Amino acid sequence: MAAAAVALAAFLIDLATQQVYLISDLPSHAPMRRGKRLHKATAYRWAKHGSRACDGRVVYLPTIRVGGAIYTSSEAFQWFSEQLTTPEGHSIPALGKGDQSQRRAEAQARTDRALDAMSV
């Protein structure tokens, strides 16, 4: 993966000033979606693998390990959510049929050139 597409957690948790809680408790601090809470595995996935932002960056949920337990904070979750949110006035580019057809044609042309180079 390209280094430019990865965003390390630029947010640091401060135990003295932030409200920290176990990462498994994040679902009780997050808003419900369609009447359901987040699964606690989702919080672990966001911390370990991150989530892709609209601009292609991978953003990780900031965590801190204390005595073998993993913690996050309300402020860290707020920062994480803000990083994934599309800025106002900017829309997420949607792929139209033309884009997909064009990419398919370009891929076919590359394949044809490679086969020609191998004299197949």
Q: What is the pLDDT of residues 63-100, one digit of tens each?
A: 999 999 999 999 999 999 988 886 755 555 555 555 56
State the average pLDDT over residues 20-36. Answer: 92
The pTM of the full predicted model, rounded to 2 decimals, is 0.64
With beta carbons less than 8 A apart as the criterion, state whether 43 and 50 touch. no
CB contact at 8 A, 64 and 15: yes
Task: Indicate the range of 10-14, 33-37, 57-61, 88-92 predicted with least confidence.
Answer: 88-92
- 19 touches 74 (CB < 8 A): yes
- Residues 26/89, Cβ–Cβ less than 8 Å: no
Stated as kind and residue range, the H or E segment containing 70 is: strand 69-73
Alpha carbon distance 70, 116 (integer Å): 55
Eight-class DSSP state of 18: S
Query: Is the confidence at residue 52, as pLDDT, over 80?
Result: yes
